[in-house]
Every structure is written in structure tokens, then in C-alpha cells.
Structure 1
Amino acid sequence: MYCGFDYGTSNCAMGVFENNEPQLIPLEGEKVFLPSALYAFSRDFITEGVAKSIQDEIARRSYIESRKAILTRAQRVRREEDYQADDQVVFYGREAFSEYYSYPDEGYFIKSPKSFLGGSGLRNEHIRFFEDIVTLMMLKVKRAVEIKTGKTLTQTVIGRPVNFQGIDAEASNKQALDILMVAAKRVGFQDVEFLFEPIAAGMDFERRLETDQTVLVVDIGGGTTDCAVVRMGPSYREKLDRTGDFLAHTGERVGGNDLDIQLAGKEFMPLFGMGAPLKTGLPMPTQLFWNAVTTNDVSAQTIFNSLETKKQIDELRLDTTTPALIDRFAHLREHKHNFHLVRNSEEAKINLSEMSETQIPLDYIEKALSLTVSRDQLGAAITPPLEKMMQLMSSAIEEAGEKPDVIYITGGSAKSPIIQQQIRERIGDIPVLDGDHFGSVASGLTVWAAKIYK
């Protein structure tokens, strides 16, 4: 059986074809979207989980041999912590967030692993570890769908951004796609194809078009923003070769996560001393604070968690006129609350799609601590990444050489009135239509899977 698989930066979704329509399958209770997050009591349990899941005996033995030292450590942790063979030690989605909030400094937590794929400077051990993380996430989704449908999934179309990273895009894309392919094969997919995510979103939109149109599809995902200018409609949708219909595409590593990070840095981090005066009259160094909230960057997180950063925080406490704020920052770092803080920033962004002001409780940091954020503050905070998104849209139209009839926007962050207003102001007098902000890519991937695997 075939499926469309949106292995997203923020959420995962999977669709199958039923009654001649793409249907997204519930992955977590009745919810069809599984947050892209994983929490393990020990980092080594991730590799252990992959070793247990590989069905092919030859492949399993080869994998175990390649991860022998890690698997030995996992067994040692089990003995020392008295974990039994059937104890749950790895959690996914909302459960992963719940466990991380309860035990932030005791286990290993990762959110949006897709945002790390294709990163420059990753050593072989990093790549292999990301293969393991992606494998377990894919396995969780695939098994949930197989249980719901009662069928074995062997063929899939997986969504991909135009570019995973901005530096050395060709090498970056190859590395990321190789990781996704390794994971997909490990979990049992025999046939795997990749499709640009904005094109997938466009295919979902195309099912409802009654006339032919040139469409600018804008997919603002968690990790990337991707645009495609596509001719679509009744004359095109039955074609298998759509190469000539895709007039242009652009994409860059700037997405919803970057909006969350900008808001966290500019509005949340002053609560932790960012911008506070020093006794010398010099400005407070800011990079420490940005490292804390840049949770989609391996290097930033490595530096933030280093002993050198701890020493710098201790020195800042002596130099600042507001030591209580630096103590709060030290507490944030010591207890690994920075992912929680960025999640709060994301919640504020989501709330501000519906309201002009929102209050976010931060009592896990300090009793009665909270922050009120307005839509205007959000708009000011996200100006740099929003400008990049607008440039990508303009570049796609310029590359296509013709003005689109309509702009179709999808992706979670595309719900923001700030973003929609910017599109209308910057791109011009073109109708802007909202899509299924979370499900259009998965539905389009499923449509394409039905075409190529039937």
C-alpha cells in the first residue's frame, strides 16, 4: 500500500487514498498531526530503539555492529537505572513535550529534528545519530497508520523543501535526502520518492480548481519557506509529467521556527538579562542569549551548554547591575528550559493569530513570572525573517516571468495576519487564498503517490 508522508519540521502527517480522496490518518489519539519532537530517558535509547525495529536480519546485524559501543552504553544505563525491557523509555509528539517539561534536565529532548538535516560541518557520528532519530520518528508514524488501516505500507512519497539549508545547498540537500532515504528504508518502505513541498501543497489545491490558473504556492513551514509558480487546473491535473507546468521555485531555510526564535530573543530574553546595563556602562553581550533560543542550530546549542558559557554567565553576574536577571538566566541554562521557552514563544505567535495580545505564564522558571506580548511586538520582532520570506515570493514570480492569478498560502505560520498583510502589501493586487495550513502538503503528497504507484 502507498502513502503520502509529510515528515515536517513542526508536525508529521501521513495520508492514504480512500474513496478516491486523500485521507489523513490519526497519529496521536484522534489528532492527525504528530508534533516533531522526541524525548528519551537516555540518548542511547534512541539507537537501541532502531536496533530493535529493523526487521531484515542481515541489515539488523550490520546495524548492531556499527553501533556496538552505543548499544553497550544503553544496556549499562538500563542496569543502573533498573529499566525493564518493556518499560517505555522513548516518547514522541505531545508525550515527548510532557516528559521534557517534567524532567527537562534528566533526559534527551529534540524538537524539529528535520531542521538540523543538511547542516554544514556535521561529522559522521552526527549524521548517523540523525538517521536514528528520523528512523524512530518515521517508525512511530508508519506503525500508527498501519494499525489504523490494517495494511502494510511499502511505497511512499515524502515531502522535501526546495533547500534544506542555505549554505552549499547542493551538498546540503544530498546529505538530508540521504538521511531521509536511509530512515525510510529502515522502517520498511520499499519504494521512496521525494516531492517539493510547495508543489505537493499545490496539488492539494488543484483538486478544487474549476478553471486553469497560474498559482504562486507559498508553503511557510516550521523550518523553511518554499514557493512555486505552477500552471494548474482541470487541463493539467491528470498529467503524470508536470515538468513543463512548474515555472519557478524558490526556497530557503527560514520558517516558523525562525519567527519563534526572533520573538523569544527580542521579547522573552530581556526577562533573563538581555539588554540589561553593566556596571561599566558598556552594553550587555547578546550572543549568549541568542544561543539559548536558537534551538534549531547544533553549534549554538553546543556553545550554550558548554562550560565556557557557564563561566561567562558567572562573570556577567558580577558585572551587571541586575544580578537577579542573570541568576534567572543561569537557572534556565542549568535546567535546560530553553526549549520550553521557545515553545512558549511559538504559543504566543499562535495566540496572536487570533488576538491582539496574549499572556504567557513562565512559572516553571519562577513563581508568578509571566510575559504579555502584543501583535505589534510580534510584528516588530519577526521583521528580518519575514523580509526573507517576501523576497522568496518576489523572486519566484520574477523567475517565472509572469504574474500569478492567485496566491495560495499554506503552513502553520501562514495563518498569521501579519504575514498575510505583508503578502498583500508587497506582492500586489493578487487574490490570496488560505489553504489547509497543516494538512495540504500531506494531502498533495498522497495525491501524487496515487498517481505514480497505482
Structure 2
Amino acid sequence: MANACGVDFGTSNSTVGWVRPGEAPMLPLEDGKVTLPSVVFFNVDDDEVSYGRAALAEYLAGYEGRLMRSMKSLLGTSLMEGQTEVGGRALPFKMLLSQFIGELKHRAETAAGRKFESVVLGRPVHFIDDNAAADQTAEDTLAGIARSVGFRNIAFQYEPIAAAFDYESQIDHEELVLIADIGGGTSDFSLVRLSPERARHVERLGDILATGGVHIGGTDFDKYLSLTSVMPLLGYGSQLQGGAEIPSSYYFNLATWHTINQAYTKKMQAQLGELVRDAREQDKLLRLQNLIEDRAGHWLAIQVEEGKIGLSDAETVQLNLDRLHPPLTLDLQRALFDQAIGHLVGSIEQTVNQLLADAGLRAEQIDTVFFTGGSSGVKLLRERIAALVPGARKVEGDLFGSIGAGLALDAVRKFG
């Protein structure tokens, strides 16, 4: 059995992998499932903290408290040094991340029946785009958090490289592979030469031809789907009596997972009360006001996320928005979703093209595209990436487990 584990702390979901003979590497973390949604709920009614699916269930059941999600997006930003209010107490964001990763470690150790002091942590190619200093700060912060929860020996691996190692364990001949890891917060890519023979080597730097990434992922797709299809129901794009547009900050906060709580501040609610009285479409602003008073922003974001997932397989998905006042149903259209995220997909395409250029490769030289990450199911994105390398075989990995499994394999190489 391996001495170390691999931890994939994700924007939306987290996993832990551990290599042992004759068994799948992924450890069960919640109710037998190998994923733990990266969610924390501070239940003020019961003065308890819950995680993952249980956290979402308590929040949706109406318990008073504070829900936090997409915490990984804070790494490398100025928000990381800030804090949020929970039950009248200030909680630093760094402590919040430590609590979640500590819980992740505890659950993995319980499932494995042993302690882990050594770990390979996954990281995106870029925590922060075009800012090397902030990117290094993000990694250093994550390493410090890992040490604070009991990991003594810490290494990092790019998430798409980890996914490559997982795919490599499944092939019987050499391939030149484009790894497309589309997660909740980032889209990361690598071009790697893989084979059973190469897999035996501890040092793989020479097999990695290029890596690249952009800070665009599933939460960004959620955001623009929400702004395009849902937020207009709450007054986004509408006007005040004098002709000025309603400030967009309310809608951008509610459409972005890690800023939803900012819409609940007393200052924002007081300003919104004044806007309601001066709005041309008062019914929409009242709907927004009621949503914020009910602290239902995360509920709405969950509905949008589920709608996005549904659009991977259907042209139209119906949302039942029964917590709005009055309740509404909304038909989400894939065509409108594709239009809303077109600029994001275009940036991702540029990243892949730059990756090929950096490696000095032509599209026809790529043997396989390996898709992983929960957001690689977005149909437009997958089609556009596949079109860049039309001759390559398209393979779908374990969308939520490939990175954790690959990190576990890398942990064996690094720590035994």
C-alpha cells in the first residue's frame, strides 16, 4: 500500500486517491461516494458545521446559517486575507479553507484506516492568469493550509498531468495525448507522451511537451447562464424612473458562487430598498428583494447549475423556481446558453491553440483527446475543443475521479 495520498481540492468537488493492491484508488468520502462537494454550511440554529451534500441539504432545508462554496476561487486573490461573518463572528477565509481540507483529510483517513502525513496536491496550471506572483502566493497558501491540518510532506502536481497519469494506466501503447481538464474554476490542458514503458519512470518532465490553462470553468458558465436567462426575471437590465439602469452589482454577486453572500449585507439591502421604490419594473425588483431577504441566492445558483448540466443532453431544460415570489417556471435554451458562453469558449480555444504552438505540434499529430473534469460535459465546449484536433480519438475519463486517481499514482512515485 502507498505511504501517501493524492488530494484533488476542487472548486466544485474534491476527491482523495490512495493506491493499494487490487482496489480502485478513490476513497469514499460521503455516504459511499468518492466525491465530497466543496461546500461548507455553518448551521446557526444547531451551532454545527456540515460539509458536502449534507451541507447543501441543510441549507436547502431552510436552516439559518452561512453556506460557502467555490472556496478554491479565493486562492491567490485579495479576498483570501479577508473574512466573512458567521453567526455574528468573524471567520477568516484562510481558516474556512483549513476547516474544509482538514475535514477532507479526516474522511480520507477514516476510509483508509490509517493516517496520511505525505500528500501530492493537485493544482491548476494557473490559479491566477497572467500574474506569477499571485499564482505562487496561491500555491504557498494552499501548502500552508495543508501543513496546518497535519500533512508534513507536501508536493504539487498540475491537475491535467495527474489526469494524464490516470489515462496512461489504461493504455497499452504510446500515444501523444491532449488532456482537457475542465473543472469548476479553471480549464487546464497538457500535451503529454504516454505509454506503459514511460509510466515506470519517476521523472516525467521530458514527456510533458506543454501545459497551459485559463481561469475559466464551470462556475463561469453558471454565471453567464444566470445573467442571460435568470437574472432578467429579477430586474437585471431594467431601468429606474429617470432612465438609469439598475446597478448590475446585485446580479453579478448573485450569479457568482463565491460572492453570493455579499448580496446579503445590510448596506446592499438598504440600497436595494431605495431602488425598488424608483424602479420602472417594480415587480422584478421586489422579486429580487424577496430573494435576498430569504437568503435564497445559493438555492438559485444550484437551480442554474442543474439547468446547465441538463443542457449537456437536452436542447431545453425547465427550471422550477418555486422559491421566487411569485413562483415561476423558466425554459432554459441551449442555444441561448451557447451564445452566453461563446466568449469564454473562445478564450479556451485560444489557450489550446497556444498550447499546440508552444509544443511545436500540428493538430494532426495528436492521437487522443482525453476529457476530464465535471464541466467537460458542456456540449459546445467539447465540440469546439474536439474540432481543433479533428483526427484525434475522443476519450472521456472519470469526470470527477481521474485527477484524484492520477495524483495517487504520482504520490507513489514521489513518496513510495
TM-score by length of 2: 0.91
| Most deviating of 257-266 and 226-235 | 226-235
- 1:452 lines up with 2:410 in the alignment: no
For the residues of structure 2 that align with 1:224 and 1:272, how far apart are their CA atoms?
28
Cα distance, 1:284 vs structure 2 = 4.2
What is the letter of the counterpart of residue 273 of structure 2? D
Q: Does 400-409 or 363-372 show the bigger shift?
A: 363-372
User: Is the counterpart of residue 271 in structure 1 residue 233 in structure 2?
Assistant: yes
Does residue 238 in structure 1 map to residue 200 in structure 2? yes
Q: CA offsets, 1:202-250, max 9 Å, x none?
A: 1101111222121111110101111111111123111111111111111
| 1:172-215 deviation line (CA, Å, top 9, x unaligned) | 22222222222222222221111000000011011112221211
Shift of the alpha carbon at 1:280? 3.9
Once the two structures are TM-superposed, the CA of residue 96 in structure 1 deviates from its matched residue by 1.0
Q: Is the 8 A contact 1:22 1:446 kept in 2?
A: no
- The match for 2:329 is 370
Q: Say whether the 8 Å CA contact 2:210–2:355 is kept in structure 1.
A: yes
3-state SS, counterpart of residue 265 of structure 1: helix
* Alignment partners' CA distance in 2, 1:146 and 1:307: 41
The question of 1:131 aligning with 2:94 is answered: yes
User: Equivalent residues in 2 for 1:196-345 (5 A)?
Assistant: 196-297=158-259, 302=262, 304-345=263-304
Counterpart among 5, 8, 29 of residue 7 in structure 2: 5
Between 4-13 and 130-139, report the one with greater CA deviation: 130-139
Residue in 1 that maps onto 2:108:
145
The one of 21, 32, 35 equivalent to 1:33 is: 35
SS at 1:230 equivalent: strand
Percent of paired sites with the same residue: 32
Give the SS at the match of 1:156.
strand
Deviates more, 1:196-205 or 1:338-347: 338-347
Structure 2 residue aligned with 1:398? 357
CA contact (8 A) 1:257 1:296 kept: no
Alignment map for 1:25-104 (pairs within 5 Å): 25-41=27-43, 89-103=48-62
The one-letter amino acid of 2:251's match is F
- Distance (Å, rounded) in 2 between the aligned partners of 1:22 and 1:155: 20
Distance 1:103-1:175 versus aligned 2 partners, 3 A rule:
farther
Distance 1:171 1:108 in 2: 31
Secondary structure of the residue aligned to 1:198 is helix
Q: Secondary structure at the match of 2:92?
A: helix
Match of 1:352 among 311, 319, 322: 311
The question of whether the paired residues in 1 share the 8 Å contact of 2:369 and 2:386 is answered with no
Paired letter, 2:319: I
How many residue pairs match? The answer is 406
Q: Counterparts of 1:233 and 1:129 in 2: how far apart (Å)?
A: 45
In structure 2, the residue matched to 1:164 is 127
Instruction: Specify the SS of the correspondent of 2:395.
Output: strand
Q: Structure 2 unaligned runs (5+)? A: 85-90
Q: What value does the CA root-mean-square deviation take over the aligned residues?
A: 2.3
Answer yes or no: is 1:176 the counterpart of 2:142: no
CA distance in structure 2 between the aligned counterparts of 1:372 and 1:33, rounded to whole angstroms: 30
Cα contact 1:117–1:130 (8 A) shared by 2: no
CA deviation vs aligned residue, 1:13-65 (integer Å, no higher than 9, x gap): 111112256521111111110100001135xxxxxxxxxxxxxxxxxxxxxxx
Check the 8 A contact 2:181/2:371 in 1, yes or no. yes
